[in-house]
């Protein structure tokens, strides 16, 4: 081989090495993005579960209260009919 061919062969090997390195880097970036997406999805699921639990606790706490107020209003209306003005 001539020196030009040797030089080109050396350059080609360096390019191949760089391309292989970039491919590995892209694969790592892809894995990182996938992990980030999975973490984001799990975070949203956790928030949704917390909101659902909070809604259930709120309903358990205030539903009896609201029903008592409605019943109280009915009893008052029955005992004290509106007087015409």
- pLDDT per position as a tens digit, 18-27: 888 888 888 8
Model confidence pLDDT, tens digit, residues 44-79:
999 999 999 999 998 888 888 888 888 887 888 888
b/e map of 70-83 (b: 16 or more CB within 10 Å)?
Answer: eeeeeeeeeeeeee
- Residue 84, pLDDT > 70, answer no
Distance (Å, whole) CA 7 – CA 82: 105
Report the pLDDT averaged over residues 31-53: 94
Quote the pTM value.
Answer: 0.51
Average pLDDT over residues 24-49: 92
């Amino acid at each position: 081989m001539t020196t030009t061919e040797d030089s080109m062969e050396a350059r080609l090997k360096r390019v191949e090495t760089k391309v292989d390195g970039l491919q590995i880097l892209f694969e790592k970036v892809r894995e990182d993005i996938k992990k980030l997406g999975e973490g984001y999805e799990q975070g949203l699921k956790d928030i949704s579960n917390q909101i659902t639990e909070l809604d259930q606790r709120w309903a358990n706490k205030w539903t009896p209260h609201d029903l008592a107020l409605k019943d109280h209003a009915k009893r008052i209306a029955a005992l004290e009919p509106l007087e015409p003005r």
